[in-house]
Amino acid sequence: MHRLRHRPFLLLLLVGTACGGDDVPTSDGGPEPARDAGDRDAGRNDDGGGPDLDGGTDSDASVAPARPVFVYVGLTNGDLVVHALEGDSLVERSRTRTGSFPSFLAPSADGRFLYVVHEGASEVAVLAVTPGTGAVSVIDREATGAGPTHVETDGRFVFTANYGGGTVSVFPLESDGTLSPASATSSSGSQTHQVVVNRARTHLYVPSKGDDHIAQYVLGVDGPVPSDPPTVDTRPGSGPRHLALDPSESHAYVIHESDRTVTVHDVNGDGTLGDTRQRLDTLPDGAPASGSTAEILVAPSGRFVYGSNRGHDSVVVFRIETDGTLALVEHESTRGNHPRSMTLTPDGTRLIVANLDSDDVQVFAVDDTTGALEHRTTLRTSGGPFFVGAFAVAAE
């Protein structure tokens, strides 16, 4: 296997807690996880309201300092821990207890703010990021629907997927990065699990695990409006959990929690999703049909797709063919139990996996030719890592 040369860059790791109802920790003083039975451009605020989510105008891009990358891991005790990636080792730099288990984080595109959902408190919080260090402080909180599991922003609004309520909450962004109370709530389907905004900031996609469909919306000046059709059905009992778009946004890849499959969908000219073009198992041939999936990622190069298997405790690697369909590359062990969350560094050279049940985070090198993974290092955490994300933050 081709071994990548080390490329020196700064990476911070944040450890946060649950996403998705099925992994919700308890909330008595120090929440513990209930184990399963079963970066994108966020968009520019063109009207001047809210933070600059493109990190600067075209005129200043040539002189802007390089932005350091930090990996954020959310722990089940409520801590958000920031690490630098030095070589392949994750080195803790700071930690902040942000709330009752952060389920998911999303950055503003200028790297000055992070938006985090706390599933145990049914709230979304705004974190101010210290330039250059990635350290965070809570500056705002707003109530969401029940059990928020995912968060995203388009530069004008912040959206939360509320697993317990089966809804999407819409929060207008203020110029200082804080939020107004929810201006709208949309019924998106039972066990709403994720909110995905396309790069053009024109469409929102929402997998509904309980209703086996993906709700889809057009994004207007006042927020999301249901598309025509408003949903795309998936196979009954499949349990669509997460969705990822390729860089060209001509294809969508959906990972299904319950039947352990990945499906391929075309993105139509009007932004709606087509019916399933291809369905592939995430488990290798002969593996027991048990466990569940969790996360799906598309490499920044647009050449590979990665999905995590809980129970089999592996990452499945697919190659994206020229027509957008997938071909299996390999299955790689996650070196731990219950890989609930994973992230790619913005340059696509490292895949980082959070194993919830074994309290560890694993760093893998990505072969830039084949997409195959090579294990590099292990980080032992002080609680269950519920979330991991690698984000470029504002420079000093």
What does the alpha-carbon distance between residue 308 and residue 295 come to, in Å, rounded to a whole number? 5
101, part of any domain? yes
**What digits encode the pLDDT tens for the residues 255-290?**
999 999 999 999 999 999 999 999 999 999 999 999
Question: In the structure, what pLDDT confidence band is assigned to residue 225 with cuts at 50, 70 and 90?
Answer: very high
268, part of any domain? no
What does the alpha-carbon distance between residue 388 and residue 396 come to, in Å, rounded to a whole number? 23
Distances (CA, A) of 378 to 85, 226, 354, 364, 387: 12, 44, 10, 9, 16
| Res 392 pLDDT > 90 | yes
The DSSP element (H or E) to which 125 belongs, if any, is strand 123-129
What does the alpha-carbon distance between residue 77 and residue 176 come to, in Å, rounded to a whole number? 29
356, part of any domain? yes
Q: Provide the pLDDT for residue 256.
A: 98
120, part of any domain? yes
Tokens 């209930």, residue? 34
Q: Among 197, 258, 204, 264, which Cα is nearest to 230's? A: 204
Q: Provide the pLDDT for residue 34.
A: 39
Q: What residue type is assigned to position 152 of the chain?
A: E
Q: Among 322, 225, 239, which Cα is nearest to 272's? A: 225
Do 308 and 315 meet the contact criterion of CB atoms below 8 Å apart?
yes
| Res 32 pLDDT > 60 | no
Q: Among 223, 224, 147, which Cα is nearest to 191's? A: 147
What does the alpha-carbon distance between residue 54 and residue 250 come to, in Å, rounded to a whole number? 22
188, part of any domain? yes
Burial class of residue 248 in the structure, from the number of CB atoms within 10 Å of its CB (0-12 exposed, 13-18 middle, 19+ buried): exposed
pTM equals 0.87
Counted domains in the chain = 1
317, part of any domain? no
The DSSP element (H or E) to which 380 belongs, if any, is strand 373-380
Distances (CA, A) of 42 to 76, 107, 194, 339: 27, 8, 15, 25
What does the alpha-carbon distance between residue 97 and residue 121 come to, in Å, rounded to a whole number? 13
283, part of any domain? no
* Maximum CA extent, the chain: 56
Do 239 and 256 meet the contact criterion of CB atoms below 8 Å apart?
yes
Q: What residue type is assigned to position 319 of the chain?
A: R
| Res 15 pLDDT > 80 | no
DSSP result, 253-307: EEEETTTTEEEEEEEPTTSPEEEEEEEEESSPTTS-S-SEEEEEEE-TTSSEEEE
Read off φ and ψ for residue 252, nearest 5 degrees: -120, 140
What does the alpha-carbon distance between residue 18 and residue 210 come to, in Å, rounded to a whole number? 18
CB-CB neighbours of 141 under 10 Å: 17
What average pLDDT does range 24-35 have in this prediction?
42
**What digits encode the pLDDT tens for the residues 158-212?**
999 999 999 999 999 999 999 999 999 999 999 999 999 999 999 999 999 999 9
**What digits encode the pLDDT tens for the residues 99-126?**
998 889 999 989 999 999 999 999 999 9
304, part of any domain? no
Q: Residue 147 maps to which CATH number?
A: 2.130.10.10
Its domain, for residue 83, covers 58-234+348-392
| Res 4 pLDDT > 70 | no
Q: Provide the pLDDT for residue 51.
A: 61
The DSSP element (H or E) to which 137 belongs, if any, is strand 136-143
